[in-house]
Structure 1
Amino acid sequence: MTPQLPYADIVEIFRRFHEAEPEPKGELDHVNAYTLVVAVALSAQATDAGVNRATRELFKIADTPEKMLELGEEGLIEHIKTIGLYRNKAKNVIKLSRILVEEHGGVVPSSRAALQALPGVGRKTANVVLNMWWGYPAQAVDTHIFRVANRTGLAPGRDVVAVERNVEDQVPAEYQHHAHHWLILHGRYHCKARKPQCPTCLIRDICLFEDKTQ
């Protein structure tokens, strides 16, 4: 496993990220906390762009759990059938919508435990919602962040929970809120899995990745 970068280098990485993009934004379209939960749940094993295409019309007619239940599972499927695993995702969205109505008065809870109790909502989804909607310094570790954290030495860990905890421990407090967006975008567009853009990388001189591309 890649060794841990010194704290001073981690501070410099996020200083550069902040300088290049002071206010990074998530790329999943949503209009409220509920549609954010749905969008993130639908994004598992799918691209944000693909999810956005599917939800563009969906969220015009079903932007609350009550409206989603009125639409029903088959109606939902018609909107999301271009997304992978759409049948199982549709079942989960309907189930989580019913739980939100029956147990939370139709309001998305701001607790990680309550969010993770919803069907189709794992730790990553819960952390995304906590971070993006309520501004909590929660670190949602997806494949991009897992790769960047381990490849660079920023927050190495053997599994996503270990990386999440390491990110939380290592990222300076002033950068915690936007950290997961910076890392996701860096992994998605620069530190790619197969063809990392090392020659133009913002943190090339700090990164510990041994197989830097020329």
Structure 2
Amino acid sequence: MNSVKRHEIFVCLKSANPHPTTELEYQTPFELLIAVILSAQATDKSVNLATRKLFPQANTAQQLFELGATRLLDCIKSIGLYKTKAKNILATCQLLIQQYDGEVPRTRAQLEKLPGVGRKTANVILNTAFGEPTIAVDTHIFRVANRTGLAPGKNVLEVERKLLKVVPKEYRHDAHHWLILHGRYICKARKPECAKCIIAHLCEFKDKTI
């Protein structure tokens, strides 16, 4: 795919959604961190249902750590892998209290040292909470990048690096949100809805469903 097409893709995505953001509900960087940890292999909808119960009880590292495992588990038990996530969340809270005065660190290296936080989660925090032009590649973005020809790659890291290279600078901050929403609602895994797609005329996917 050439640079003209890539640029036009983001012109189209921005025109349809000028101010994209995550569908996870949060008010602070800490709340976003917890929501993203919970979102692994879970839907944003299910996470929001859990955090609506959790955050009114505890929405800081100190409060959540003091809440304890039993009450935390009760809030998040509807989410997959909830026991492992609860363990990671409490360990993360303890580390934030001990090393960062309860605040969420602002570097990738520091974020990736937190239990339950990998490169994708760190990228989401850096982008959505702190405004950095990172791109967190999940299954939706990986699919869209490969299917459209925007930034094909064999693994998520390869796609991430290619996207950071080819996405025009003025669209880099919001690219993560546009692509994930496009993959979630239009460019679906089993059957992409090409007839509804605003970038179908730019997409290089050979098996369009139009």
The reply to whether TM is greater than 0.5 is: yes
CA displacement at 1:97 relative to structure 2: 0.3
**8 Å contact kept, 1:31–1:63:** no
What is the distance in 2 between the residues matched to 1:189 and 1:151? 15
Q: Deviations over 1:4-49 (max 9, x none)?
A: x101100000001111111011100111011100000100000000
Aligned match of 2:124: 128
Corresponding letter in the other structure for 1:98: Q
- Name the residue aligned to 1:57: 53
Determine which of 139, 142, 148 is the counterpart of 2:138.
142
Aligned pair 1:28/2:24, yes or no? yes
**Structure 2 equivalent of residue 116 of structure 1:** 112
- Which residue of 1 is the match for residue 43 of structure 2? 47
1:129 offset after TM fit, Å? 0.4
What amino acid does structure 1 have at the position aligned with 2:74?
E
**1:199 positional shift:** 1.0
Structure 2: gaps spanning 5 or more residues: none
Q: How far 1:61 sits from its partner (Å)?
A: 1.3
Gaps of 5+ in 1: none
Structure 1 residue ranges (4+ consecutive) displaced by more than 3 angstroms after TM superposition: none
The one-letter amino acid paired with 1:160 is V
Match of 2:68 among 58, 68, 72: 72
Matched, 1:153 2:119: no
Residue 81 (structure 1) shift: 0.2
Q: Deviations over 1:85-127 (max 9, x none)?
A: 0000000000000000001111100000100000000100000
Corresponding position of 1:100: 96
Structure 2: distance between partners of 1:84 and 1:111: 28
SS, match of residue 4 in structure 2: helix
Q: Paired residue for 1:206?
A: 202
Indicate conservation of the 8 Å contact 1:46/1:84, yes or no: yes
Deviation of the 1:179 alpha carbon: 0.3
- Structure 2 residue aligned with 1:85: 81
Is 1:193 the equivalent of 2:189? Answer: yes
Q: Following the alignment from structure 2 to structure 1, what is the Cα–Cα distance between the partners of residues 59 and 196?
A: 40
What is the one-letter code of the residue matched to 1:118?
A: L
Q: Secondary structure at the match of 1:60?
A: coil
Structure 1 residue 74: Cα displacement = 1.3
Aligned residue type for 1:89: K
In the alignment, the residues of structure 2 paired with residue 50 and residue 148 of structure 1 have an alpha-carbon distance, to the nearest angstrom, of 23
Q: Partner letter of residue 80 of structure 2? A: G
